[in-house]
Structure 1
């Protein structure tokens, strides 16, 4: 379809150019010779300076993947699709490491509090003892 469209467009442009040329040539007969020559030279210069239209290149192939249309852009498209996934995995691993370190630090604080305080044996069986140690350690750290 693009070939037919470009051929039709070229034919329309050619027809327009011929009409403009005929119109300019018809009006040229009524002008004095020196003005007609200057116009002819000006037309030749304009044609020599005209911009040459860039050659048309075919559009990229559109591929479908799972119902979504994607442009076949090569390996940059694949890299661009993988980078967010890699960032997500790195973020999840970082969150896991930070949570593990926090959990280990909390357990170390409880163990340090148990080993350094003088407590009766009944305190070790109390269900709220770990919470007491956490709040007591937090109060000590804020002082």
Structure 2
């Protein structure tokens, strides 16, 4: 029995039980339902972009200029470090590739298991 069939059976059972309730109980349930619906908050429909703009405006009003500048400095620092680190990695790879291509190693040296260890030791020198 899948979930949809199970839910259908439960709904049938509840509807059958609803028909067996006394009239006074049904009226009390109906009035409680109406009272709950009257107290329910009404959703205001607005576009998604208006909601985002309202959120951003509310957040900006609560921030101080020092906090905004500090956040910008942190983002700029992280971006600069990432760029510098990537540039250093590329430079190291260029040096290793140049050394390998300019060397007179036979092709078998590249497939040797100790070649990786030699690369690491030559890179550290």
Common fold: TM-score over 0.5: no
* Higher RCO (Cα < 8 Å, 6 or more apart): 2
Report the TM range for the smaller structure's normalisation: 0.3 to 0.5
Q: TM-score, normalised by structure 1?
A: 0.39
Give the number of the structure whose alpha-carbon radius of gyration is greater: 1
Which structure has more helix as a fraction of its residues?
2
Q: TM-score, normalised by structure 2?
A: 0.44
